[in-house]
Structure 1
Amino acid sequence: MAQEPIKSEEVVLTEEVGSVRLITLNRPQQLNVISSKVVSILAETLEKWEGEDDAKLIVIKGSGRAFSAGGDLKMFYTEGKTDISCTEVVYRMYWLVHHIHTYKKTTVALVHGIVMGGGASLSVPLKYSVVTEKTVFSVPEASVGFHTDCSFSYILSHLPGHLGEYLALTGARLDGKEMLSAGLATHFVPSAKMVELEKRLLSLDSGDESAVSSAIEEFSVPVELNEKSALNKKKVIDKCFSQGSVEEIISALEAEASAEGNEWATEVVKGLKRSSPTGLKITLRSVREGRKQSLAECLKKEFRLTMNILKTVISNDMYEGIRALVIDKDKAPKWDPPTLNKVSSEKLDLVFEPFKDELELQIPSEGKLSRWDGKFEKSVYHSQKH
């Protein structure tokens, strides 16, 4: 018998069912975007449950047609430059992300609908991340002058080949089958079975990984990529996105676009040319650095980047991108600088430069390993020969 829901703010609903704990992101009209209140509740709730012996399994889901569309862009637009509370919520969000990666209890994300940017950091790192045919994933931050954050410079850099650079720079959308094939999810369950799966998990009264895995696999089905999926273009993606700079990546894509079957590359080039030059260059460098960095190092780096972008250290592009996308909605951003060749390595160095020790993100550098410390030899993308 389910107990009464734990009292909390409406933006996050929590429930205890025996030894299972359920979190529901509950801002359906805003696609469950992550506000400062959401971060605070999630951080406090997960910390509390991790310390409770009778809490064995944590399940996270979203309400409505989204898991979470990411951070609250309007909050960043209105408060990012001047409000100290914005700095505090960013700091706490990075702590939360690290905690999710290294959580000591068994965790499951039920990812139905939109899951983007920072919202994906609440699902992708979990021990089990279940997606459906209605799941839509992307990390579109670079296009609006921001960067791939909330541990995604770490996650994407650990994907096979140069798929990480492709996803980070283009903001390409993946469906649930593609997420599973790329290694960004652990199971695919048809949406019609998700309610039944949730009930099954709540009835387990256990956090035993073999029991949880078996329960999910009861509802899981094998997947086959759509013929037109970009993930079927491994050879071209790796060839183009392994280039040394954004300019070279675009040139390589333009060269490939003339070949039969590579028409998709033309649209990718158009998207890159519409995106913030500063956001693209910061993102490429961050993901490339992520290959040689630990989770903690990536989060500290991403925190620096976020703070420097909020403070417009080298560009106002993030605010301009948000303005064009969600404030004025004219979709006509005026980037400054307007071209890639104006974003110098010296400028990039400014946003990557370490802070004084007391200003750095202070999180544990050792401890339980994230599942992202593993490899992805079994992913469909990795095994492709073409």
Structure 2
Amino acid sequence: MAEESLNANEVVLAEETGHVSVITLNRPRQLNVISSRVVELVAKYLEKWEKDDDTELVIFKGAGRAFSAGGDLKMFYAGRKDDFCLEVVYRMYWLCYHIHTYRKTMVALVHGIVMGGGAAMTVPLKFSVVTENTVFSMPEASVGLHSDCSFSYILPRLPGYLGEYLTLTNARLSGKDMVAVGLATHFVPSEKLKELENRLLGLNSGDENAVSNVIEEFSIDVLPEEATILNKLQTINKCFCKESLEEIIESFEAEGWNNGNEWIWPVLKVLKRASPTGLKITLRSIREGRNQTLPECLKKEFRLTMNLLRSVVSEDVYEGIRAFSIDKDNAPKWNPPTPGEVSNEKIDLIFKPFSPELELHLPAEGEASRWDGKYEDSVYPSLRENK
């Protein structure tokens, strides 16, 4: 096996054997959170392998007990004063587009935690394999951010209003739930995951039928009655279809008093303690995403992330990171503190399009421009130099 990344301490390891390449997120002590270097290397390897005729199959996995816990929040906090994170934000959204549209067969082997940007590297793949140890969530709104990295495109396409529920409440899904709702394709017991990987390596092919057949040998059917989240979908739809955040919270709380709905109270507690600004931005983004294309969602999400990190209308994102990841007092002081105090005018400002040169530049259709639009070719490097 030829190993591209010879440094075992590198944050991403890349290995090639025959027609199969393996990419390993390698920050196990940090739950494989996504740093600027991680994004840079993943994009580099995926471009190389898509252009390489010898590579037919790409396997994605994470070292340690997580696939990836999402973006490196401490990195964002450290760079809050000087646009330090501008580059990684641009690169990550550009990378998300290529993961969704990748031209080679890809398989994600997802054990342990998979959140936010980490899930953006698994959910869009043709094959995403989860286990009994897999835990999925979208915690961004809870810390003042929004559901990013293409999830304003993915979540509205789940059954009913489940997408709104997941992103507003930070609800967790098990591996079986992920398969049942369409966020993963196969459930494989964790003790079989390494054997499955070895079989895929030995397959030495990217033929989708052959890959599917191998995974099917190891997978276990997930029965609908095991998908606990789907058993609650009627109540979720009733509440989370409401037009405003305030109406959703009011309806959800009212449902909690009905027999059999005791599960609502701990979920409601998490919903009420999240950033009101983050929640309102997230809800609008998900609702817009129902009628937007993938490129439209990515460009919108890029604007939202940039504006939030630049504290255009609120510093909630940094207060959330401080409270949950830095000081860990779990007592954020949101500004404003209630949904009713978050004005529509401020939300409109966050969604306002950038001038054309400042937008995320995704490739046009066609092979010749497939990898165009990189950060280096945008105006952003010069903007940073002038700071």
TM-score by length of 2: 0.92
In the alignment, which residue of structure 2 is the partner of 1:371?
Answer: none
In structure 2, the residue matched to 1:52 is 52
Which deviations, in whole Å up to 9, do the C-alpha atoms of 1:48-103 show, x marking residues without a partner?
A: 110000000000000100000000000000103413x4101110011111000000
Alignment of 1:166-185 (within 5 A): 166-185=165-184
Give the corresponding residue for 1:124: 123
Give the 3-state SS of the residue equivalent to 1:168 in structure 2: helix
Deviations along 1:130-159, one digit per CA (max 9) or x if unpaired, are: 000000000010011000000000000111
**2:146 partner SS:** coil
Counterpart check, 1:42 vs 2:34 = no
Distance 1:19 1:183 in 2: 28
Structure 2 matches for 1:213-362, cutoff 5 A? 213-224=212-223, 229-362=228-361
SS at match of 1:289: helix
RMSD of the TM alignment (CA)?
1.4
Please name the residue that 1:19 is paired with.
19
Q: Is the 8 A contact 1:5 1:14 kept in 2?
A: yes
Aligned residue pairs, count: 366
1:91 & 1:6 partners in 2: Cα distance?
A: 24
1:302–1:367 Cα change, 3 Å: farther
Equivalent-residue separation in structure 2 for 1:303 and 1:170 (angstroms) = 22
Q: Does the C-alpha gap of structure 1 residues 35 and 358 become closer, same or farther in structure 2, counting only changes over 3 Å?
A: same
The residue aligned with 1:94 is 93
Within 2, Cα distance between the matches of 1:4 and 1:288?
Answer: 44
The residue identity in structure 2 corresponding to 1:55 is T
TM-score, normalised relative to structure 1: 0.92
Partner of 1:207, secondary structure, is coil
Render the CA deviation track for 1:6-52: whole Å, top value 9, x for unaligned: 44661111111110000111100000000101000001110011000
**Helix, strand or coil: the match of 2:353?**
coil
Report what 1:158 is aligned to.
157
5+ residue gaps in structure 2?
368-387
| Partner SS state of residue 261, structure 1 | coil
Cα separation, 2, equivalents of 1:49 and 1:221: 31
Counterpart contact for 1:296–1:365, Cα < 8 Å: no
Q: How far is the alpha carbon of 1:334 from its aligned partner?
A: 0.1
Q: CA–CA distance in 2 between the matches of 1:4 and 1:44? A: 15
Deviates more, 1:216-225 or 1:53-62: 216-225
Alpha carbons of structure 1 residues 184 and 78: separation in structure 2 relative to 1, 3 Å? same
Contact 1:4 1:16 in 2 (8 A): yes
Cα distance in structure 2, aligned partners of 1:317 and 1:275: 10
Conserved? CA contact 1:102–1:367, under 8 Å? no
Structure-2 residue corresponding to 1:10: 10
- In 2, the alpha carbon distance for the partners of 1:286 and 1:259 equals 30
User: 1:306-333 CA distances to partner (integer Å, 9 max, x unpaired)?
Assistant: 0000111111000000000011000000
Question: Per the alignment, in what secondary structure is the counterpart of residue 21 of structure 1?
Answer: strand
Cα displacement (A) at 1:365: 5.6
CA contact under 8 A between 1:156 and 1:163: conserved in structure 2? yes
Equivalent residue runs for 1:132-147 within 5 Å? 132-147=131-146
> Identity percentage over the alignment?
67
Q: Quote how far apart the aligned CAs of 1:228 are.
A: 8.6
